[in-house]
Amino acid sequence: MENDTGNIENKDLPSLLRWYMDSGVDESIGDETLDWFAISTQPAPKTTSPAKVTATVSVEQIAEKAEQLAASCDSLSDLKQTIKSFDGCRLKKTATHTVFSDGNPDSNIMLIGEAPGVDEDRQGIPFVGESGQLLDRMFKAIDLAREKDFYIANIMPWRPPGNRNPTSEEITICLPFIKRHIELFKPELIILLGGISAKNLLNSSLGITRLRGKWAEYELKSSKIPVRSLFHPAYLLRQHKAKGDTWHDLLEIKAKVEELSL
């Protein structure tokens, strides 16, 4: 059946389009005839190359840049601003705040944890959630208060999504910052909270159960700083049996504080 489309009113155009679609027509036809065989033999047009090709940067290169930036800082405030401006760690993109430190910057005792949790990320302060409250009670039991007796930071200044452990690559990138943090603070006693901080700052392959319960040393230029590793407070909230071992460690810390007159 032949369809006459020569005299079609505007109101009939939708019907015509539906008829074309039902007939399998999927492209419009121009008024000029094209020689598709000739066109197919022509060379394809050259694609425009991107103006800039992004090179792949290794974790080691990012860590080296972080080390250079950290070394250029002459004060804790400089380091804080440098870390806040650093874009080399992907954790920053998902974090709400850069969590730098808390406590007394004029004290002689430095506590170093692992990474911020959800409460810390929300407030921008380390150890303010449930584990932080337990931490304050632990040290209050040996007459030490955050406000006057110690200073606290984390290896990671940004919260890993879902409170997962930071990856080895993320730790490698951020490690120069916490090492410079230690250099600028110049502690006389370091307390490491959790296996991640203990293993990486003591350069050990041992787990926290092997590292806690004894003294170690952190080399800072020409001096050696006494270090004690503790179970992380978050771990103690889940494993109450470990609190006895932690109490022993806290008593050892109290004795060291009195020995060093801190």
Please report the pLDDT score of residue 3 as a whole number. 46
CA-closest candidate to residue 256, choices 231, 236, 235, 230: 230
Q: Is 164 exposed, middle or buried (0-12, 13-18, 19+ CB in 10 A)?
A: exposed
Predicted local distance difference test score (pLDDT) of residue 222: 84
In the chain, the domains with their CATH numbers are 59-260 (3.40.470.10)
* Res 208: pLDDT: 97
Neighbours of 228 (CB within 10 A): 20
Per-residue pLDDT at 102: 98
**Amino acid at the residue 22:** D
The pTM of this model reads 0.79
Q: What b/e string do you get for 48-60 counting C-beta neighbours within 10 Å, with b at 16 or more?
A: eeeeeeeeeeeee
Residue ranges for the chain with pLDDT beneath 70: 1-55
Contact 97, 117 (CB under 8 A): no
Give the pLDDT of residue 221: 85
Question: Which amino acid is residue 4, in one-letter code?
Answer: D
Say what the pLDDT of residue 2 is.
45
User: Cβ contacts of residue 226 below 8 Å, gap of 6+?
Assistant: 189, 190, 215, 216, 217, 256, 260
The Cα 58–Cα 56 span in angstroms is 6
Strand partners of residue 227: 190, 216
